[in-house]
Amino acid sequence: MNGFQEKLKYVIVLNVNLLTSTKNLNKEREEKTVKKISGVYRILNIVSGKQYIGSSKDIKRREYDHFWSLKGNRHNNEHLQNAYNKHGEKNFIFKVLLICSEEQLMEQEQRLINETKERVGWNNLYNINPLTSKIIITEETRQKMSVAAKERVKNGTSNAGKKGKNNHSYGKKLSRKHKEIISKANKGKTVSKETRKKMSEAKIGKPSPMKGKKFSKEHRENISRANKGKPGLEGEDNPMYGKKGKDHPAYGRHHDKKTKQKISVSLKKKYNAPGAKEKLSEASKRGWITRRINQKTKEKKKE
């Protein structure tokens, strides 16, 4: 009888273990098959009232990622990390604000950031940037921004055109990391023809920022050294290649009499200066050699 009881006990324990492992397996499968929820969320500091607003294609995963980084003291948002270190996990609440499609994420996140900023003020948000990445700004918003910028210029509160100590960036230097971020953000960006035209029209009639300024001898030598040995932009590589008539940026422009006289005097001084002819001859030879090198390089590439 004792032997039978022992066998029965063993079978019961085995069945219990099997049932537990089956439940755990089913739970894992359920967790894996849980549908991802996309939407906008908030991380609220109940001590200070400050909050962070973000969006994600998978909110549950993002919640885990945020608190995993905060616990490990490696969150990329320094303000949020410092607050977490000071007040502790128990004082931070993660809440889903709304559920929306992936296509609407950026738009809805920006809307909630704007509404929260107006209600509690920008200083009560942990967000580093007031604009979400890849946000599409509507024409109406652009006009509002333009009007606001013009008002700042009129009131004298804008930084536009302010130089030296009057500029908010005076004396400040960007860190290497910051420079790399700006570089990556601007790589691959192209300015449309329409924008280039507007930039050109905005500068017409305005004096050059270099007017009246002269490079020091040392500066000129540095520029010369930096450009020596560099291949010239010949043929199709030259941005002005094939541009004629209306396509040429100088089309329809004419120098006045005074400007022509200045150019004439400047060129005469340049070419009649001692040793000028020898320098021009050397430059011409270098140019010819560079053109030949570029031509041979192109021929090899075609082969």
Predicted confidence (pLDDT) at residue 85 exceeds the cutoff of 90: yes
Find the mean pLDDT for residues 63-74: 91
The pLDDT of residue 32: 47
Question: What is the C-alpha separation between 93 and 88, in angstroms, rounded?
Answer: 11
Structural domain for 294, as ranges: 267-303
Look at residue 21 and tell me if it is in a domain. no
Return the CATH number at 66.
Answer: 3.40.1440.10
Share of residues in the chain with pLDDT > 70 (%): 80
Q: Is the pLDDT of residue 156 over 60?
A: yes
**Domain end residue (candidates: 114, 138, 162):** 138
Q: pLDDT category, 80, cuts 50, 70, 90?
A: very high
User: Does residue 295 belong to any structural domain of this protein?
Assistant: yes
User: Which of 16-30, 96-110, 200-214 holds the top average pLDDT?
Assistant: 96-110
Calpha distance 161→152 (Å, rounded): 12
Beta strand ranges found along 51-204 (DSSP E): 51-56, 92-99
**Residue 281 falls within a domain, yes or no?**
yes
Query: Which residue type occupies 294?
Result: N
CA 41/CA 94 separation, integer angstroms:
7
Residue 279 lies in a domain: yes
Q: How many Å apart are CA 68 and CA 50, to the nearest integer?
A: 20
pTM beyond cutoff 0.75: no
Q: Please give the C-alpha separations between residue 215 and each of 211, 212, 219, 222, in angstroms, as whole numbers.
A: 11, 10, 6, 10
pLDDT tens readout for residues 236-265: 667 777 788 888 878 888 888 888 888 888
Taking residues 165-178, report their average pLDDT: 74
Q: Count of domains in the chain? A: 2
What pLDDT sits at residue 234?
Answer: 62
Look at residues 138, 160, 182 and tell me which one is the last residue of a structural domain.
138
- Given 122, 138, 154, the domain boundary residue is 138
- What are 254's two structure tokens? 């004419």
Count of beta carbons in the 10 Å neighbourhood of residue 114: 14
